[in-house]
Amino acid sequence: MKKRNKILSFALSCVLSVGLLTACGTGDTQKEKQGSGAEAPPEKVKLLMGTSADYPPYEFIDTAGSGEIIGFDIDIANYIADKLGFELEISDMDFGGLIPALLSERVDFVLAGMTPTPERLENVDFSDIYYVAEQMIVSKADSGISSLEDLAGKKLGVQLGSIQVDLANSIAEEFEGVQIEERNKITDLVQELKAGRIHAAIIEDKVAEGHLKANTDLAAFIVEEEGEAGSAIAFPKGSELADQFNEVLREMIENGEMEKLIEKWFRNE
């Protein structure tokens, strides 16, 4: 019901004005408001962002504090929305539901540490890459898993719909008996790992580091040969937002704001 209200309030607040018209497309979340009189101050257009808040420090629920979704991606989204004069509304869902949400225009963009891949690019557009990560294999410290070979015959967990599924598949091709276990949330993977229901999980470095810190019974190593995976912002194909967002992303890199956020979320521990 909360979500419905949000969508409705977006629909109502998407003001019909020439300057803002480009942001008010034809999707469910983008409807115009009937003018209530020339003297009323124009309301900000709401942009609906999809994310999967299971991914500290990129996006997670601040359970210890406000109960809101916070993180690196959220700060980036707020900065961009503010710069472009939009009001931001965040919608939390499973990672695997994000691209479908873009395709059905239930959200205007996705900011979720998402990596542009050729398959995804067939369906959605991406901004420039704003951060780069490496992949880690996380397991119980006493599991004896310290290289990819050690995964032979083991259960390997990955987040459903993520690029880690592809990596798990290529590991399973190379090493005998690797069983891939997909879960909706990274937090589920960590729990399964601790409970011994899976032997290892593939998690991106910064996210893995947080779990390692909070769980001293876990250990990890980097998958060297995999190279790096960038994060970018996803949009429905042809969305005019992509160029506008890229402009602000570039500005954030030039004016040091991006470095500040990287420092805040990834280094300041």
Strand 124-140 and strand 228-236: pairing? Answer: antiparallel
Q: Which stretch binds ligand ARG (CB under 6 A): 48-56, 169-177, 214-222, 259-267?
A: 48-56
DSSP string for 137-196: EEEETTS---SGGGGTTSEEEEETTSHHHHHHHHHHHHSTT-EEEEES-HHHHHHHHHHT
Among 48, 54, 70, 209, binds ligand ARG (CB under 6 A): 54
Among 55, 79, 109, 126, binds ligand ARG (CB under 6 A): 55
Distance CA 66, CA 68 (A): 5
Among 102, 198, 229, 233, binds ligand ARG (CB under 6 A): 229
Q: Which stretch binds ligand ARG (CB under 6 A): 42-50, 137-145, 155-163, 243-251?
A: 155-163
Among 112, 198, 212, 234, binds ligand ARG (CB under 6 A): 112
Question: The tokens 């570039």 sit on which residue?
Answer: 250
Q: Which stretch binds ligand ARG (CB under 6 A): 13-21, 50-58, 150-158, 261-269?
A: 50-58
Among 7, 145, 186, 218, binds ligand ARG (CB under 6 A): 186
- Token pair belonging to 268: 């300041």
Nearer to ligand ARG, 81 or 112 (CB): 112
Q: What residues line the site for ligand ARG (CB under 6 A)?
A: 52, 54-55, 58-59, 95, 112-115, 159, 162-163, 186, 204, 229
